[in-house]
Structures are given as C-alpha cells and as structure tokens.
Structure 1
Amino acid sequence: MRVPSPHAAEPHDWIDVDALTRRGDGLSGVFALARLPRVLADAPDLPEQAQETVRWRVQAEWRDPPPAVAAAVRALAGGRRAAVPRHLWLHLQAEGRVPLVCQRCLEPYWQPVTVDRWFRFVANEAAAESEDESCEEDLLVLDGPRYPLLELVEEELLLAAPLVPLHEVCPHPIPLAAGDVLGAGGEAAAAEPRRNPFEALAALKAGGRS
C-alpha cells in the first residue's frame, strides 16, 4: 500500500490516471537517477552516475471484479441485481541500474534492476487496510485524479534490488583467511598444488630408513 505525497514539479512525476485509461498505447518516459534520493541514499559514487536514467512505462485499465467479489456485493444487496463497480488497475514496467556495494568483495558496482508489476487502486487507506490481507494483488491508494509515478518507480526499484548485493563475478581476487584467494571466477585457488599429508609422512619414513 502506498499513499501519494505532495505534488512534484516536473512532467510525468504525477500521472492523470483517468486520462491514462483512455490512452490505448500507455505512457513512457525516463527519470534521472539523480532524482531518486532514496535509491541513492548511502549508495557508492560511480562513474557516469549523474547521467544515469531509469526507463519506465505505465498503462491503466478498468476491469470487472472477480466473480466472488461481484457475488458478495449482490449478497449485501439482499440478492437484488446491484451495480458492481469496476476496478482500476495500473501496469508499471521499469528498468535501469542502481549503484550498490558487493558484499563479497566490498567494491561498488552497477546492479541492473527491472520491474514488471500490476497494481489495483482503492479509494482510501481504510479500504486498503481492509483488503490488504485478503487479496493477492498489490494495492495503491488513489484519493484524487493523479498519482505520484516518480515515487512509485523509486519504491519499486528499491524492492527489486537484491537484499544481498553481489557481483556475478568479482573483478579482483579476494584474500581469504587461510592464505588462499577467491579468484574472479569465484573459486578458491592456491598458488601451487597442496601435497597429500600421507604422502609427506611416507616420504619422511622412507628418509629415516635410508
């Protein structure tokens, strides 16, 4: 559940959801990564960060409620034919890169992140709280004609980022406590092959008999 915050100033920071439902092709654009302070909080400073952007696309549509919901509405009306309100849904797609620190080698890196989710709008926080535990979809509170898209994109990027950031392959060998190194391929490798301890013991016994 997310609640809108005060209006932002730039185009598409807020979207007119009703107008969006009338667009057959949806709406797309980019946000500068520098405008997402929560994503950059405590993030490492990487090259080209000031020019980095997040691409997004949104589409809205009205849907009939599930049969169970429609039946419940009619039951509350005493079995009479009652108008069952349609539900407003929003589809968000976004992709970009966020700066993180690898928890294995402790070096900063760019983490690709993608978002592809549907949300259902409800009228107020009370409705969201009453439905949140019983529905599978994510809910958004829409208490006016517009919704803060910039905040939603930022929130979803944070949720899509890994809890434990890791390079797929660390760029430099990592020293280990035993004197080995964790190489770029992610495997421990010794400088030279280790001798079997039983072979060393046999060699000592052989030397003692000579």
Structure 2
Amino acid sequence: MTQPIDPRALDLFAFCRAGGEAAGEVAARDLPRIIAETAAHAPVSAPDEVFSYSLTGFVEEEASEPGTPATQHLYVDLTVNGLVWLDCQRCLGIYAQPIATDMCFEVVASEEEADAAPMDDDEIDVIVGSRRFDLLTLIEDEVLLALPVAPKHDVCPTVHESLVTGVDGQAEPEAEVPPEEEKRPSPFAALAGLKTKH
C-alpha cells in the first residue's frame, strides 16, 4: 500500500526497512536543473509539466559467517516518467523528449560506504541515505541522466536549411547546379603549339 511521504525530508532508512511504497508527482518548476535544460522557446506551460514517480523500499539479507547475524542491505527502486522540452539539434525546432527511467539504488549510511561499494553491477547504483533525504534531488538526477546527448526529433517536421544533409529528417538536399566552367586553353595544347614552332 502506498503511503504519504515528504519528498524533501524522507527518512529513507525507515522507508526501506518498512518495505515502503510511495507515488506522486513533481512539477518541472520544482526542479531547477531541469528548467535550465528546457528549451528557451518551450511552451509557457513547460514549468507546469509534471514528472510522476514511484518509490519502493526493501531489504535484502546477506548471509554471514555461522553464529553471526545476517548483514542487511537497504534498497529503493525509483521510476520516473514525464517529458522535457528540448531544442532539436537537427532542425533547431523544439520538441517534447519523453522520459522513462527505472533504477534500483542501494542505500548506505555514509560516503565512505558508498566509495567502498563494488561498481560491477550496472543495474544497481549506490546512494547515501539520511533521515531527511531529498527525493526531489534524486528524481532530478535521474531525469538529467535520461536526457539525450544530442537531442533531436525522431523525424523532423522541417529541416533547417543550414543543416540539410539528406540523411536525417524528411527534407532532401537540392541538387547543386555546378557553375559553368570558363573555357580555358589546355596547357598541353599550348605545349604542343610550342613544339610545332620549332
């Protein structure tokens, strides 16, 4: 069952141990780094775009040596869905980039533990938890990581004349008409003329 949480001050340790589930929405205007990435000519409603999220906490126990208690590992699974208005690098127009992320994080108590955590699992990242954890910052991080390196439409509605390549988008380059070459005498013909004079 989902539970109400304060996304700006979440006791992440207790949330994980309780097997908590939460869901909600956050507006783009509350994520300043996302606003900074938003296209300058995005619709005026862009700051009102919302990202929906769901958060699930759980615990996994790792067997220890006989006679010692099992080691507990805390985890949260975070999914984020929404869109960000970006500038297309191909046609220079704006477009809505869908965002859909799903990441699992191991929650540790300190930076030292995070630094010591093995980095061999691409499916799990490590974060430092707290009793007043700012979930919005984590959501913002995940949205930023999901943004494309080179934003562009799947198929551009138009292609800016300076960027027409004929490969991407729908527009094809116009065939270039080569300028008429000036008729110049062949240097070989001039040499032949010199030989005939001798």
The correspondence for 1:140, drawn from 89, 104, 127, is 127
Report what 1:160 is aligned to. Answer: 146
Deviation at 1:183, TM superposition (A): 9.2
The correspondence for 2:69, drawn from 76, 83, 104, is 83
Whether contact under 8 Å (1:93, 1:115) holds in the other structure is yes
Whether contact under 8 Å (1:183, 1:189) holds in the other structure is no
Report what 1:199 is aligned to. Answer: none
Whether contact under 8 Å (1:172, 1:184) holds in the other structure is no
Report what 1:186 is aligned to. Answer: 170
Residues 103, 20 of structure 1: alpha-carbon distance in 2 compared, 3 angstrom cutoff: same
Q: Which has the larger radius of gyration?
A: 2
Deviation at 1:15, TM superposition (A): 2.1
Residues 163, 97 of structure 1: alpha-carbon distance in 2 compared, 3 angstrom cutoff: same
Q: Is residue 60 of structure 1 aligned with residue 49 of structure 2?
A: no
Residues 23, 102 of structure 1: alpha-carbon distance in 2 compared, 3 angstrom cutoff: same
The correspondence for 1:41, drawn from 36, 40, 44, is 36
Q: Secondary structure at the match of 1:128?
A: helix
Q: Is residue 22 of structure 1 aligned with residue 15 of structure 2?
A: no
What is the aligned-residue identity percentage?
A: 30
**Residues 116-131 of structure 1 aligned to structure 2 (within 5 Å):** 116-131=102-117
Deviation at 1:135, TM superposition (A): 4.9
| Separation in structure 1 between the aligned mates of residue 138 and residue 145 of structure 2, nearest angstrom | 11
Structure 2 unpaired stretches of 5+: 178-198
TM-score (ref. length: structure 2): 0.73
Q: Secondary structure at the match of 1:86?
A: strand
Q: Is residue 13 of structure 1 aligned with residue 8 of structure 2?
A: yes
TM-score (ref. length: structure 1): 0.70
| Separation in structure 2 between the aligned mates of residue 185 and residue 59 of structure 1, nearest angstrom | 40
Structure 1 unpaired stretches of 5+: 1-9, 75-79, 195-210
Whether contact under 8 Å (1:14, 1:150) holds in the other structure is no
Aligned length: 169
Q: What one-letter code is carried by the residue in structure 1 that aligns with 2:55? A: V
Q: Is residue 110 of structure 1 aligned with residue 105 of structure 2?
A: no
The correspondence for 1:50, drawn from 47, 50, 57, is 47
